[in-house]
Structure formats: structure tokens, C-alpha cells
């Protein structure tokens, strides 16, 4: 009989994602939208896929990009879903994570279709409070940030930015958008103004959760993120663009990280060592 404190699906695979040991590569992209996972697999892992599944909309694929085995798995929207998918991904072999997401830019000069590399995140997500106190920083691994920066410089000069993400638990009011009555509640407007004053680079809903979980519950797993700019909150422009650019930069960063000596224990799955 299965245990209630460590549930599994039939066959002993992870309960939600239905991935098992070794199904995912050590180098793993994590995306919110299942369609983005499929796009990455079809365009960049084509002809090399050894694993694919789709359970609860949590799509996962494993294949090769430039002879490096890479997986892409779906986290869904927001921190609670991220907190479900990450442990199951690690149990299935993933060790180094790069989120390929989308964001609302708070950088005035940014354009729709640009990309932003979060170096850290403001923790308005609330989910990460389950893993560490609010004072614990949500910071990307410096090696992952460096690899993303190098890849972006090579592939998209003038089209990439870096800075602190503001991770929220809500896409609408939580990011200073008007509610159904056409107003932003005074408290949330004040928070939005403070986020702007602090110089945050973008709004999204996952980076803080990814960074804190990997650093704490994940035992120090390296993680980073890159977001396609879908919105500019200063100019009020909106458009769905930049997903492929963000994915290509993330993939090239993983290739670079495959040669990083300090990450060898993660690529071999020797680390982390859990208590």
C-alpha cells in the first residue's frame, strides 16, 4: 500500500506529473504553459526525444539539443504548482533548472519580444514562505545567470535586460492591474508604486518560488530564469512575442553549463545529498 505522506501514481511514478526515475535529464527547462513545452520539444529536440508525456496538462519531454540531453517540463501557473512540480522533477532526475517564462516589463525602454533575465526576485508570491522565512532571499544561481547573460549577448544583443523580478501570487490586482470595477485597490496601487520606485525589472509569478525552493527544499540546486517580454507596464503595450528567443537563449545557456566544472556533481546527479 502506498503511503499518504509520499503518494505515487500507478507504477510508482510521481503522483502529479507521472514521471519516474531517469525520465528527466539533469539539465531541465521549466515552463508555465504546456504549449511552450511542446514548442521547445518540437522545434529544438525533434528527432531525439526519448521520453514524452502529458498528465494533468503537465507536459514533459526529454531529448537532445546540440548533443546535450535536456528536458523541458511544465510547472503550470504560480508558486503552488511550482511547489508540486519541482520535487517530482528532481525525483525524476532533474538537477539544474532554467525557467523559460513570460513577464510584464517594468523597464520603460524594453520592447515587446525582448527578454529579461531575473537575478533575484521580490517575494510577493507567498508560497515560498512554506520553505523559508520572508527574510530569506530569492536569488538565482550566479553560474546560471552568467550563462544566460553570455547566451543573450551572443544571440540577442540590444534585446535583453537583467534585474530583479517581482514575483506575485496574482496576475491581475497583485500586479497593479485594474479589477473588474476598473480600479486598483489603494493598497495594491501603493505596492505597485513601491515596486516601481525600487527599480524592479518585471512582474511574473514563478521565479521567487523556483529560486527559494531550489536553494532550500532542493538542497542547493542551481536555478535561473529568462522571461519573454509580453507587456510593457509603462507604455501599456501588449503582445505575445519572444518565447522562441527566450527558449534559444536558455538552451544555449544549458549547453554552456554542461561544461561548467563546478556543476559536474549535479549533472551526474551525485548532488544534492539529502538528509
The model's pLDDT over 223-257, given as tens digits with 9 standing for 90+, comes to: 999 999 999 999 999 999 999 999 999 999 999 99
CA–CA separation, 129 vs 212, rounded Å?
9
**What residues have CB less than 8 Å from 115, skipping those under 6 apart?**
152, 156, 159, 160, 161, 226, 227, 228, 229, 242, 245, 246, 249
54-99 pLDDT, tens digit each: 999 999 999 999 999 999 999 999 999 999 999 999 999 999 999 9
CA–CA separation, 213 vs 209, rounded Å?
6
Domain 23-267's class? Answer: alpha beta
H or E element at residue 70: strand 68-74
pLDDT score recorded for residue 1? 64
Burial class, 255, CB count within 10 angstroms (exposed 0-12 / middle 13-18 / buried 19+): middle
DSSP letter (8 states) at residue 8: B
DSSP letter (8 states) at residue 48: -
Q: For 26, list phi and psi in degrees, rounded to 5.
A: -60, -35
**What residues have CB less than 8 Å from 86, skipping those under 6 apart?**
30, 75, 97, 210, 213, 214, 217, 218
175-221 pLDDT, tens digit each: 999 999 999 999 999 999 999 999 999 999 999 999 999 999 999 99
Q: E strands of 182-249, at which residues?
A: 202-204, 223-232, 237-238
CA–CA separation, 204 vs 103, rounded Å?
5
Residue 224 pairs in a beta bridge with: 98
CA–CA separation, 78 vs 171, rounded Å?
9
pLDDT at 9 over 90: no
Amino acid at each position: 500500500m502506498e503511503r499518504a505522506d509520499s503518494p505515487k501514481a500507478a507504477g510508482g511514478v510521481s503522483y502529479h506529473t507521472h514521471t519516474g526515475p531517469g525520465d528527466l535529464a539533469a539539465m531541465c527547462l521549466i515552463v508555465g504553459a504546456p504549449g511552450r513545452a511542446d514548442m521547445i520539444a518540437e522545434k529544438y529536440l525533434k528527432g531525439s526525444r526519448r521520453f514524452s508525456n502529458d498528465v494533468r496538462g503537465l507536459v514533459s519531454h526529454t531529448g537532445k539539443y546540440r548533443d546535450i540531453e535536456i528536458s523541458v517540463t511544465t510547472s503550470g501557473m504560480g508558486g503552488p504548482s511550482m511547489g508540486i512540480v519541482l520535487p517530482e522533477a528532481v525525483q525524476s532526475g532533474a538537477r539544474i533548472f532554467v525557467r523559460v517564462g513570460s513577464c510584464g516589463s517594468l523597464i520603460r525602454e524594453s520592447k515587446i519580444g525582448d527578454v529579461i533575465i531575473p537575478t533575484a526576485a521580490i517575494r510577493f508570491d507567498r508560497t515560498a514562505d512554506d520553505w523559508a522565512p520572508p527574510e530569506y532571499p530569492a536569488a538565482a544561481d550566479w553560474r546560471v545567470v552568467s550563462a544566460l547573460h553570455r547566451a543573450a549577448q551572443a544571440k540577442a544583443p540590444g534585446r535583453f535586460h537583467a534585474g530583479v523580478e517581482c514575483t506575485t501570487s496574482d496576475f491581475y490586482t497583485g500586479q497593479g492591474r485594474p479589477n473588474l470595477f476598473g480600479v486598483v485597490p489603494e493598497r495594491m496601487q501603493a505596492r505597485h508604486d513601491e515596486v516601481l520606485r525600487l527599480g524592479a525589472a518585471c512582474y511574473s509569478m514563478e521565479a521567487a518560488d523556483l529560486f527559494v525552493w531550489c536553494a532550500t527544499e532542493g538542497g542547493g540546486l542551481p536555478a535561473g530564469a529568462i522571461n519573454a517580454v509580453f507587456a510593457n507596464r509603462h507604455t501599456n503595450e501588449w503582445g505575445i512575442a519572444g518565447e522562441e528567443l527566450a527558449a534559444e537563449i536558455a538552451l544555449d545557456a544549458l549547453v554552456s553549463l554542461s561544461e561548467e566544472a563546478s556543476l559536474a556533481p549535479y549533472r551526474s546527479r551525485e548532488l544534492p545529498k539529502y538528509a
